[in-house]
Amino acid sequence: MNTHPSSVVTAAVFDTKPYDREALQRASANHGIEWHFLDFRLTQDSASAARNARAVCVFVNDELSRPCLEVLAAQGVELIALRCTGSNHVDVDAAKQLKLTVTRVPVYSPHAVAEHAVALLLTLNRKTHRAFNRVRELNFSLNGLVGFDLHGKTAGIIGTGKIGRVTAEILHGFGMRVLAYDLFPNHEWARQAGVEYAEVSVLLRDSDVISLHTPLTAETRYIIRADTIKLMRRGSILINVSRGALVDTKALIQALKSGRLAGVGLDVYEEEEGIFFEDLSGEVLHDDELARLLTFPNVLITSHQAFLTREALSEIARTTVANISALAGQASFVEGSVVT
Ligand code: NAD
């Protein structure tokens, strides 16, 4: 049980990286939060490390399954504060039944994520990742580095929420025609931004660049798979900074082997848990599909870093601290952040 006076909230922070610790400590000065920073992920087995904590703070690859939530609830945890937007990794029904409040960060910097999507696109298209390595080896040859003008080409944005809209606007600024697809189209924004909504099949058929910006749900899982890849233009570029399981990796590898896709930029991967965010440089990679993806010169993978800007980190920390402080009655939960 918590032994502190009710004005001090003890929070166990799982999967803490140095930049999380710094941002949370900076945001919580005078907020009466006692942090327990843990560098391992939350799993059913590690959940006991949250004993004495009223709040648990976790990130995208922590486990929030029913058995894990049961351990947390039995220890007296009241709040699970996600330091991310997506809540697809939470067993929401179990959290409700166990009377655990779950909060997320509804918005931090859509610009951080959208700009990273565009960074992947520009790098892949102009092959600056390969040019960087070549020039360091004094190889000044340009052979194999031909890209294409984005200006005048068509971009397809799947999901026009906060991040998808910013991505669309940046690409429109490059002089691209922008097609969009969303379950709930925002026609007023599209009119102002010069974006056209289209059926997903039309978007896939007509786009030279496709960027995914939906959350991971039962409907969006494998939205990019063998039969939807077949609809895509030969030579198109696919960017996924949203969630790994939006893309069927096996089908993606086949499409890359056949030369159907000109480039793939991934900030997320369906089996990233336990791999992304870790330094495995001295170890053997056991994931054969990730290993295969890494062999393609036209695949660019970053390790779920699209959110990683100073502005995003400080906004994530501000919302997280506000939600944890709400436990001590110092504030209410940040609007739009309560999942359960
Ligand atoms: P958002 O909720 O503002 O937008 C999501 C959009 O997807 C909404 O417009 C929604 O209507 C649409 N959508 C939902 N289901 C759909 C479907 N089946 N078909 C078509 N459209 C559908 O979310 P956001 O802030 O723009 O974030 C999008 C996603 O980006 C998050 O869910 C998260 O998974 C991911 N993300 C990744 C990082 C990173 O660091 N790589 C950081 C933040 C967010």
**Strand boundaries in 201-249, DSSP class E:** 209-212, 236-240
Q: Report the range of poorest mean pLDDT among 15-19, 85-89, 140-144, 168-172.
A: 85-89
217-231 average pLDDT score: 98
Bridge partners of 181? 158
Percent of residues, the chain, with pLDDT higher than 70: 98
pLDDT of 182 higher than 70: yes
> Rounded mean pLDDT of 199-226?
98
Over range 319-340, report the average pLDDT.
Answer: 91
| Residue 335 domain-assigned (yes or no) | no
**CATH number reported for the structural domain that contains residue 75 in this entry:** 3.40.50.720
Testing ligand 1's pocket by substitution, the residue of 82, 182, 240 carrying the most ligand atoms inside 8 A of its CB is 182
pTM for this structure?
0.93
Q: Between 310-325 and 18-27, two packed helices, what is the crossing angle to 10 degrees?
A: 60
pLDDT at position 6 is 57
- For the Cβ of 159 lying below 6 angstroms from any atom of ligand 1, the answer is yes
Whether 54 and 187 map to the same domain: the answer is no
Cα 193 to averaged position of ligand 1 atoms, centre (Å): 19
What is the rounded distance in angstroms from the CA atom of residue 134 to the CA atom of residue 252?
A: 27
Q: How many CA atoms lie within 13 A of 205 on its CB side?
A: 5
180/114 same-domain check: yes
Sheet holding 236-240, edge to edge: 195-197, 177-181, 154-158, 209-212, 236-240, 261-266, 299-301
Locate the ligand 1 atom nearest the alpha carbon of residue 107 and give its number: 25
Q: For residues 213 and 120, what is the distance between their CA atoms, to the nearest angstrom?
A: 14
CA of 212 to the centre of ligand 1 (A): 8
180 and 277 both lie in a single domain: yes
Q: Would 103 be classed as within a structural domain? A: yes
Q: What is the pLDDT of residues 134-181, one digit of tens each?
A: 999 999 999 999 999 999 999 999 999 999 999 999 999 999 999 999
User: 316 alpha carbon to ligand 1 midpoint, in Å?
Assistant: 17
Q: Please tell me the total count of domains within the chain.
A: 2
The predicted-structure confidence for 189-212, as pLDDT tens digits, reads as follows: 999 999 999 999 999 999 999 999
Q: Please check whether residues 167 and 97 belong to one and the same domain.
A: no
- Contact (Cβ atoms closer than 8 angstroms) between residue 114 and residue 170: yes
Within a 13 Å sphere around the CA of 59, how many CA atoms are in the beta-carbon half?
A: 26
Share the mean pLDDT of the chain.
Answer: 96
Which residues are marked as active site? 243, 272, 304
Stretch 250-279: mean pLDDT:
96
Task: Say yes or no: CB of residue 156 within 6 Å of ligand 1.
Answer: no
According to DSSP H, which parts of the chain are helical? 18-27, 66-74, 92-97, 110-126, 128-136, 162-173, 187-193, 200-206, 226-229, 249-257, 288-293, 310-325
| Cβ-Cβ contacts under 8 Å for 58 (sequence gap 6 or more) | 13, 14, 15, 42, 64, 80, 81, 82, 83
316 & 287 share domain: no
Residue 3 falls within a domain, yes or no? no
Q: Verify that 176 and 235 share a domain, yes or no.
A: yes
Q: Which domain holds residue 208?
A: 110-301
Claim to verify: residue 98 and residue 128 sit in the same structural domain: no
Largest CA distance in the chain: 68
In a domain, 334, yes or no: no
Judge whether 83 and 58 are in contact, CB under 8 Å: yes
Residue 36 sits at φ, ψ, to 5 deg, of: -115, 100
Tokens of 250: 């096996």
In ligand 1, the atom with minimum distance to the C-alpha of 184 is 11
Q: Are residues 52 and 188 in the same domain?
A: no
Asked whether residue 270 is domain-assigned, the answer is yes
Same domain, 271 and 180: yes
Same domain, 84 and 44: yes
* Domain shared by 157 and 227, yes or no: yes
CB 242 near ligand 1, within 6 Å: yes
Separation of 114 CA from ligand 1 center, angstroms? 11
The residue nearest atom 27 of ligand 1, judged by CA position, is 163
Confidence of residue 329 (pLDDT cuts 50, 70, 90): confident
Residue 3's pLDDT is: 44
If one counts every other C-beta atom within 10 angstroms of the C-beta of residue 68, the result is 21
Which residues touch 225 (CB under 8 Å, ≥6 apart)? 247, 248, 251
Average of per-residue pLDDT across 61-76:
96
> Are 246 and 137 in a shared domain?
yes
Given this model, what pLDDT does residue 224 score? Answer: 98
